[in-house]
Structure 1
Amino acid sequence: MIQEDRSSFSKWSPSIGLCLTLFTVAFNVSVIPAIMPRIVRDLDSSMGYVQAALVLLALVKASFAPTCENLIKQFGRKPVFLSGLVLFGMGTIATSLSPSIGMFVISYSLICGLGATPLISSPRELIGIIHSEKTEMYSQLALIVASIIGGLTGAVLGGLIASNYGWRWSLMPQLLIIPLIAFLVRKVPRTVQAQTEPLDWVGGLLSFLGFGLTLLGVSLAGEYGWWFAKQEFKILDLVIPPFSLSIVPLLIATGIVCLGIFTAWQRQEANQGKASLLRVGLLRYQPFLICLFTASIHTLITTGIQFNLYQFLPAVLNLNPFQTALAVLPFSLATLFAVVYATFKLVRRINHKQIIYAGLTMFAVGIWQLYSAIDLQMKPLDILPALVVMGAGSGLFLAQIGVTTFSTVRREELAEATGVYNPLQNLGSALGRGILGSVLIVTASANIVDKVVIELGKTISSAERSRAIQVLEKVIQTYSTDERREFFSQLPAAVQPSLNPIINSSVVEAMRTSVAIALIFSIICLILAFFVPKRFQTAREV
């Protein structure tokens, strides 16, 4: 009996390790929004800088993904995976010991981001190697469930630990799991070296610049402006660009140009039979692209809304990190339940496209309910129905979108498809925080300025209003709590009695605006889902 148990454990231990890998990466991402106020206070920083660290983390993962796949072709998936695990652990230790926000960004965004890239892309491919087609579906489900539970645990457990012991200890659970992962995946088969040609460093550089500059532009939009410059962008006292245009459109345009050159370079390398990061032909498969962009937009919405909830609820309801995590918890629980239920019950009776469309419809209804529930008198329980409906809809969608997306490519193209799919999800995550997070800050700042001016019975010019909004955005994103309190205390005495109601109502209106934009994105998702293939097909059939 003991020998049989050992044999069973030996059979399933690699899969358990891979599931724990996605659990840990999801924990790492979800714990930061839950403990953000503690980080800001301890490092004497601002919400804006910590938010930029989260966006930069997604940027690094998206930018490094194609090069990571190239390294895997050269050295094999397992060695690169284990190297990423070591790097991720080093980044976690450095993050927990960070004495300043600069070291926090380097440790968390750069080191953890580089380490996490192979940890995200490898489990799906390795599961396919370990299991037969009969058990692969359930193993892929386990990966999705592990990622959801990791996100849920990071928010709740991280918030609880931060509230009682400090934010640095909130990173300890993932650090304890890393050696266990290394032990469990030791028997994962080592894949044969796929190529002997030199690494495509030119393609890697172009992909990094393309994804990186685009995401960096998005992440800086709130601080520097989407088009006209809110403030100057300087490098060694050199103003870039040297005119009134913001640095943001220049970065995004340069990133898009780099991505275009990257695409042309990949086509040239493939035509000459040389090493390339991915098959550009994948980007011509319409079903693959439709599924890809639908999934990315959904990631944008869910990431942006959850991020804003972690900023909005503490400010309006005066919740600590643990209480905030509990308030948002129903979304993750409903997502988890819906994923499992859809996989084991619905897929046998309902077409996958119907499940995807039903999920997105429920998700849109949940966003509308959230919009209706947000007001000055709201309580945590008021948003519970909306979060449950949103979570259930998201779970139905997630249960099928990955399977549907990868069914559109041949099995030998799965690695390249993963190399495209994961960066686009990271791009969606970064855009969610960048766009919806910026909307929350910018709209709240504009509302506060306008209401204070009305309360004082004064009129100001458009230029003065713009300058006041820019100053307030900087205050919200870069000042500590005490510094913000001191800043607002310097406003005229006539407005002080009404200041707290003005701030709260402005934040509520800003949150409703960001949710309304999320609803627009969800409608775009519904439109795209209409073109998702009705049956599973491969690229050969397209």
Structure 2
Amino acid sequence: MATDTITEPTTPLTPSGPPRLSRRDKLVLFVLCAAQFMVALDFSVLNVALPALGADLGMSRFALQWAVTAFALPSGGFLLLFGRIGDLYGRRKLFLTGLALFGAASLLATLAWDPASFLTGRALQGLGAAAIVPTGMSLLTTTFPEGPARDRALGISGTLLSLGFTVGMVAGGLLTDVLGWRSTMALLTAFALIVLPLAPGLLPESRTPDRPRLDVPGAITVTTALLSLIYALSTAAENGFARADVVAALVAGVVLPAAFVAVESRAAAPLVSLPMLRRSTVAWGNVGGLVTFSMMSTVVFALTLYLQEVLRLSAFETGLVFGVQGVLSAVAGTLAPKVIGRYGAHRTLVGSLAGQGTLVAALLLLNAHTWSVWLATAAVSLASMCHLGAIISYGLTVTAGVPDEQQGLATGLVTSTQQVGLTIGIPLLGVLATTSPSLLTGVHTVLALDAAIVLAAAVLVALGLRRARPGDRV
């Protein structure tokens, strides 16, 4: 079987006990995790700053949603394509290109002089993120071999990924109050400037040994499908589903995936291997990942509205609630590999989804009394611990048993699921909170649907993973 070409081997595992990482391994892990954290931070750091941004650049309330959508469209739409390009032509090379583009785009957004320049910067950030995320994950899984070392690396990566979204919410508010909205984009520029000089000397090159022709029809079809779906949901959240462009985008988002399957079945070197999609671990692992990401982002959005507009907490106080969530997520990141080692990734994924859904259901007890802040803090923090367990275990579930030369395809699916999940959750359910006559009633509706979806997914994933081949079980 062909394997990836990797110029430097990782440190061998100890025969017993936790894996020992060399100083170089730790630096490699730092570079890869810092880049992933930077991208996760970008999903939320600007949220609190949007009103100040709009006032400064003269952007209307409608235009402000494009500050988020301009990033989400390319970051979610080009993930599979860039993951495959990295497989074929060098993951390290594309990772470094993405880092450089992300840093330059963040600087453009920091210095933006009008809406067009700002949105251009955000779109280029999204393109950079689409290159960073799948190649970074592939470099991690090919640098650290399957087993305790990879479990530990993915645990750290998953923790920072979850923390990035939470830290972004807290840091965004503090930076905007003290230094203005441009400081949120300057923070991302600083991250890129720290990581980019370290990466070339540390990261090994990794690619498939042969170079089949890039599947251009498949790339166009799947990228257009993802772009259409994300555009439709993002636009509908603000303007409803009746607009012609939203309807057309939704139709394309439904029809094009079927066309993609037809294209891939005939392609000599498909962008996505259909046999891989037929793996129970790949299919159901990604279902679990999509649900945990999309539904948890919706909970955070709904609780942000609830805490500030129902309980009348300040932005700083709201940040403290999510700060507790972030701390417990970090704890979960250290515990999850141990749980996976004992019970396996499949059982951990199902159990984590069940725990997340149950704890979100507990939030239905929230009311307008101030004591509810304690319930909100406890339930969302514990739900986030389960969420973190689901993140780590679904990544391991999807990539287990996949040959090294196809790791980019598998991790591209993992990261596409992650980015699409972060993008579609709020448009799908969050809009119910903002359009309900009573915000508290709307929040309850969102949380009830959220919990039901996660619990249903736990049952479906458990049933689906029973069919996994023995060699794919982890």
TM-score, normalising length: structure 2: 0.86
User: Structure 1 pair 371/53, CA: closer, same or farther in 2 (3 Å)?
Assistant: farther
* Deviations 1:468-526 (CA, angstroms, capped at 9, x unpaired): xxxxxxxxxxxxxxxxxxxxxxxxxxxxxxxxxxxxxx222222221122122122222
Aligned AA for 2:95? F
Q: Which residue of 2 aligns with 1:407?
A: 400
Offset of 1:299 from its aligned partner?
0.9
Query: Aligned-pair RMSD on alpha carbons?
Result: 2.7
Choose the corresponding residue for 1:300, options 287, 294, 297.
294
Q: Which residue of 1 aligns with 2:225?
A: 210
Aligned AA for 1:279? S
In the alignment, the residues of structure 2 paired with residue 121 and residue 331 of structure 1 have an alpha-carbon distance, to the nearest angstrom, of: 26
In the alignment, the residues of structure 1 paired with residue 36 and residue 284 of structure 2 have an alpha-carbon distance, to the nearest angstrom, of: 25
User: Structure 1 pair 348/131, CA: closer, same or farther in 2 (3 Å)?
Assistant: closer
Q: Do 2:106 and 2:185's aligned partners in 1 also have CA atoms closer than 8 Å?
A: yes
SS at match of 2:43: helix
Aligned AA for 1:95? A
In the alignment, the residues of structure 1 paired with residue 456 and residue 247 of structure 2 have an alpha-carbon distance, to the nearest angstrom, of: 23
Q: Which residue of 2 aligns with 1:381?
A: 374
Offset of 1:193 from its aligned partner?
6.2
User: Structure 1 pair 383/426, CA: closer, same or farther in 2 (3 Å)?
Assistant: same
Choose the corresponding residue for 1:522, options 451, 454, 461.
454
411-420 vs 296-305, which deviates more?
Answer: 411-420
Choose the corresponding residue for 1:23, options 33, 37, 47.
37
Q: Do 1:78 and 1:190's aligned partners in 2 also have CA atoms closer than 8 Å?
A: yes
Output aligned runs, 1:300-339, within 5 Å: 300-339=294-333
Offset of 1:74 from its aligned partner?
4.1
Q: Which runs of 5+ in 2 are unaligned?
A: 1-20
Q: Do 1:35 and 1:321's aligned partners in 2 also have CA atoms closer than 8 Å?
A: no
In the alignment, the residues of structure 1 paired with residue 315 and residue 121 of structure 2 have an alpha-carbon distance, to the nearest angstrom, of: 22
Q: Which residue of 2 aligns with 1:463?
A: none
User: Structure 1 pair 129/353, CA: closer, same or farther in 2 (3 Å)?
Assistant: closer
Aligned AA for 1:300? S
Aligned AA for 2:76? A
Aligned AA for 1:254? A
Q: Do 1:84 and 1:119's aligned partners in 2 also have CA atoms closer than 8 Å?
A: yes
SS at match of 1:30: coil
In the alignment, the residues of structure 1 paired with residue 52 and residue 363 of structure 2 have an alpha-carbon distance, to the nearest angstrom, of: 27
In the alignment, the residues of structure 2 paired with residue 180 and residue 509 of structure 1 have an alpha-carbon distance, to the nearest angstrom, of: 45
Q: Which residue of 1 aligns with 2:71?
A: 57
Offset of 1:88 from its aligned partner?
0.6
112-121 vs 259-268, which deviates more?
Answer: 259-268
276-285 vs 40-49, which deviates more?
Answer: 40-49
Output aligned runs, 1:224-239, within 5 Å: 224-226=239-241, 229=242, 233=243
Aligned AA for 2:321? A
TM-score, normalising length: structure 1: 0.76
User: Structure 1 pair 417/362, CA: closer, same or farther in 2 (3 Å)?
Assistant: same
Output aligned runs, 1:35-434, within 5 Å: 35-45=49-59, 48-108=62-122, 110-133=123-146, 134-186=148-200, 187-192=202-207, 194-226=209-241, 229=242, 233=243, 240=244, 247-270=245-268, 275-344=269-338, 346-375=339-368, 377=370, 380-407=373-400, 409-434=402-427
Q: Which has the greater radius of gyration? A: 1
Identity across matched positions, percent: 21
Q: Do 1:367 and 1:386's aligned partners in 2 also have CA atoms closer than 8 Å?
A: yes
Aligned AA for 1:528? L
Aligned AA for 1:67? L
Q: Do 1:68 and 1:118's aligned partners in 2 also have CA atoms closer than 8 Å?
A: yes
Aligned AA for 1:314? Q
Offset of 1:535 from its aligned partner?
9.9
Offset of 1:424 from its aligned partner?
2.2
In the alignment of these two chains, the number of paired residues is 451
Q: Do 2:166 and 2:322's aligned partners in 1 also have CA atoms closer than 8 Å?
A: no
Aligned AA for 1:305? V
Offset of 1:194 from its aligned partner?
4.4
Offset of 1:287 from its aligned partner?
3.1
Offset of 1:31 from its aligned partner?
0.9
